[in-house]
Amino acid sequence: MTAPAAPTGDAASDFPIEWLEPRDAELTWGWDDMHMPQALAPLAGDYVLMMTQGFAYGYERLDVPIQIKSRIWNGYAYFTADIPLPESEHEATWELRSIRAREHIDATHGYWIGTALPEIQAIYADVAAIPVEDLAGPVLADAWEEAWSRLGRPWRIHFYVIRGPYQVLEDLADLYESIVVDAAPGDALALIGGAADELQAVETELEGLVAMLRGTPELMVDLPPTDAVGSLAARPDAAPFLAALDAFLARHGHLGQNWDNLAEPSWIEEPNLLMAEIAKRAAKAPRTTAEERRARLAERAEVLAALAREQLAGDPDRARTFEQTLAAARMIGPITETHNYWIDRMVQSHVRRLAMRVGGRLVRDGVVATTADVLFLYKAEIAELLRTPTSRHALIADRRTEHAHWSATRPPRTVGKPAEDGDGDRFDGVNVTSTEPNEVRGTGASAGVARGTARVVLDQATFGAVQPGDIIVCTSSNPSWIPLFAIAGGLVTDTGGVLSHAGVVAREFGLPAVVGTQDGTIRIADGRLVELDGSTGIVRLL
């Protein structure tokens, strides 16, 4: 049993830490508020630990001695990078990672399309087919454990397949910014804009649903926001729309979770979350279409490329390098976000839906009171309770109380060894501070100037508050935010850089964005009029 240790850095004394391994205290652990800003229930914590195991596979494929570790302390997810080599060799190890990632760039597209996607889709189908309601308890326990093991495989694929795409975009950005010296931070990444990928497909199909609902305005009369789908199901004239909605959910229903937290349902579980956004958009005339935005992004990409080519007119060697890097980036760069669609969002949806079905079994067996109680058990406990059902009502009540306590706490940004000052990178972002009281600074991730009402979005409950033209202010975002990005005026995030999920998706929707403000959700009040510049990274409070 290890003794509790007080956090260091900016940690508060009332956030106790118990080191799992002696070496943990020697490392700097960072709270992952980009992906998991909320306190996690026990099963959601187990899911984060499963995700982390994928890092080892990715670095094994690259043959690089970097170990990404995660810990859940008081419900919050912390990560660190451990290099089991003398500190003098750490910088060379990170450079080796880049070298090895470049070696995998050419193989990435074929591997992703020909091997990875078919494999993970087969896993999803098998897990969805588990007859949870019919299996004997011990057999279901075995199936539960096997499903978690199999759903860990997409995360291993994730942390290998992203290496080439992120590296080629880093290389493209370095090269472009050395050619066009006054380029804004997000300009280089806009060179791959306008790809007709899964994100654009989601928005195009959403537009079709919005058009169907707008074309039958009588369906929107007295539509209850909490059960719009149920209300429509009782109306024969809504059958064509509901059929189209079902088809959309069959393809894209795994989206809808704001963050990597099993507590959040996807659209296929809670279609009213999506329906609320469709109804909101149907009540307003569209400003532009997905295809129009895509065409504009593709046009801007060519303008930016032409600018670089003009600068390279007298340097054929660098011009050739630029064209080769650009071609590779356009081929596999979009995987930096489409992997989130196919893996991050889809694995989470399948794990949660399986857990809720198993939760139903535990309710039937008298183990828990509600299906959602399953989130307050650990994975191993669930398997044990399927084999030997025993009431856990009191335990669940205690854990819910503890979870509520930590949910009301803002955890320290780092624990363990004090963090060293650094320049950051294009994914996690660079810390930028402002001395102006009415100014928030971050990184300009998507060009454009936008002025509007700030709408602070901290959970799924506040998702529906965003109205057309609002400036979204949030911790981070992912492809589940597509319905909002199509109507919002701009985006401000606490976390991330130009290569973060928020930055990538914002550019794909032509949405002016400032990312990595650190404390935008704290300093910008909901309802405040703001103006942001997606090139300079400045947000002014008006």
Q: Are residues 366 and 473 in the same domain?
A: no
Determine, yes or no, domain membership for 87: yes
Q: Are residues 139 and 63 in the same domain?
A: yes
pLDDT band at 422 (very low <50, low <70, confident <90, very high): low
Is the model's pLDDT at 275 over the cut of 80?
A: yes
pLDDT band at 181 (very low <50, low <70, confident <90, very high): confident
* Both structure tokens of 397: 């009540």
Q: Are residues 385 and 448 in the same domain?
A: no
Determine, yes or no, domain membership for 176: no
Is the model's pLDDT at 8 over the cut of 50?
A: no
Is the model's pLDDT at 119 over the cut of 50?
A: yes
Determine, yes or no, domain membership for 5: yes
According to DSSP, residue 429 is labeled B
pLDDT tens-digit series, residues 212-238: 999 888 888 878 878 899 999 989 999
Can you give the pLDDT at residue 5? Answer: 36
For residues 277-288, average pLDDT: 83
* Both structure tokens of 420: 């060293």
Q: Are residues 23 and 83 in the same domain?
A: yes
Q: Are residues 520 and 479 in the same domain?
A: yes
Q: Across the beta sheet with 28-31, what order do the strands follow?
A: 67-73, 76-82, 28-31, 414-416
Determine, yes or no, domain membership for 186: no
Q: What does the radius of gyration of the chain's CA atoms come to, in whole angstroms? A: 24
Percent of the chain with pLDDT over 90: 71
Least confident span in 131-145, 153-167, 278-292, 342-356: 278-292
Q: What angle do CA 132, 135, 136 make, to 5 degrees?
A: 130
Cβ burial 433-470 (10 Å sphere, 16+ → b, else e): eeeeeeebbbbbbbbbebebebbbbbebeebbebebbb
Q: Please give the residue range of the domain that contains residue 469.
A: 439-541
**DSSP-derived secondary structure for 53-75:** HHHHHHHHHHT---EEEEEEETT
Can you give the pLDDT at residue 220? Answer: 83
Q: Are residues 8 and 123 in the same domain?
A: yes
Can you give the pLDDT at residue 13? Answer: 59
For residues 381-408, average pLDDT: 97
In the chain, how many H helices and how many E strands? Answer: 20, 14
Is the model's pLDDT at 519 over the cut of 80?
A: yes
CA gap 444, 196 in Å, rounded: 24
For residues 275-304, average pLDDT: 87
Which residue type sits at 498? V
Q: Are residues 398 and 443 in the same domain?
A: no
Can you give the pLDDT at residue 229? Answer: 93
Is the model's pLDDT at 451 over the cut of 90?
A: yes
Q: Final residue of a domain: which of 381, 406, 431?
A: 406
Q: Final residue of a domain: which of 386, 406, 426?
A: 406
Residues 207 and 291: beta-carbon distance below 8 Å: no
3-state secondary structure of 40: coil
* Both structure tokens of 53: 């195991």
- For 476, list phi and psi in degrees, rounded to 5: -165, 180
Q: Are residues 446 and 386 in the same domain?
A: no
Nearest of 494, 486, 431, 429 to residue 457 by alpha carbon: 494
pLDDT band at 423 (very low <50, low <70, confident <90, very high): low
In 20-162, which ranges are continuous DSSP H helix? 42-62, 90-103, 105-111, 117-128, 137-161
Can you give the pLDDT at residue 2? Answer: 32
Report the domain count for the chain. Answer: 2
Can you give the pLDDT at residue 496? Answer: 84
Sort 404 into a burial class: Cβ within 10 Å, 0-12 / 13-18 / 19+: exposed
391 CB neighbour count, 10 Å cutoff: 13
CA 326 to chain centre: 25
State in Å, rounded, how far the first CA of the chain is from the last one: 54
Higher pLDDT, residue 316 or 290:
316
Q: Are residues 156 and 9 in the same domain?
A: yes
Establish how many alpha carbons lie within 13 A of residue 276's alpha carbon, considering only the half-sphere containing its beta carbon. Answer: 19
- In the chain, helix, strand, coil percent, each to 5? 55, 10, 35
Determine, yes or no, domain membership for 61: yes
Higher pLDDT, residue 12 or 336:
336
Q: Are residues 448 and 534 in the same domain?
A: yes
In 388-473, which ranges are continuous DSSP H helix? 393-407, 460-463
pLDDT tens-digit series, residues 123-165: 999 999 999 999 999 999 999 999 999 999 999 999 999 999 9
Task: Specify which residues 472 forms β-bridges with.
Answer: 455, 491
CA gap 345, 358 in Å, rounded: 20
Lookup result for tokens 């600074």: 441
Sort 131 into a burial class: Cβ within 10 Å, 0-12 / 13-18 / 19+: exposed
Ramachandran class of 182: left when φ > 0, alpha when ψ lies in -120 to 50, beta otherwise? alpha
The structure's pTM equals: 0.92
491 CB neighbour count, 10 Å cutoff: 28
pLDDT band at 350 (very low <50, low <70, confident <90, very high): very high
Residues 387 and 381: beta-carbon distance below 8 Å: no
User: Would strands 471-474 and 490-493 be described as parallel, antiparallel, or unpaired?
Assistant: parallel
Rounded (10°) angle between helices 198-215 and 290-311: 150
Can you give the pLDDT at residue 424? Answer: 66
pLDDT band at 421 (very low <50, low <70, confident <90, very high): low
Is the model's pLDDT at 508 over the cut of 70?
A: yes
232 CB neighbour count, 10 Å cutoff: 19
Which CATH number is 533's domain given? 3.50.30.10
Is the model's pLDDT at 49 over the cut of 70?
A: yes
CA gap 492, 529 in Å, rounded: 13
pLDDT band at 426 (very low <50, low <70, confident <90, very high): confident
CA gap 29, 71 in Å, rounded: 9
Determine, yes or no, domain membership for 330: no
Can you give the pLDDT at residue 68? Answer: 95
Is the model's pLDDT at 10 over the cut of 50?
A: no
Is the model's pLDDT at 4 over the cut of 60?
A: no
Q: Are residues 452 and 348 in the same domain?
A: no
- Evaluated on CA atoms 264, 269, 271, 272, the torsion sign reads negative
Determine, yes or no, domain membership for 307: no
Q: Final residue of a domain: which of 365, 387, 406?
A: 406
Determine, yes or no, domain membership for 474: yes
Q: Are residues 389 and 464 in the same domain?
A: no
Sort 474 into a burial class: Cβ within 10 Å, 0-12 / 13-18 / 19+: buried
pLDDT tens-digit series, residues 52-97: 999 999 999 999 999 999 999 999 999 999 999 999 999 999 999 9
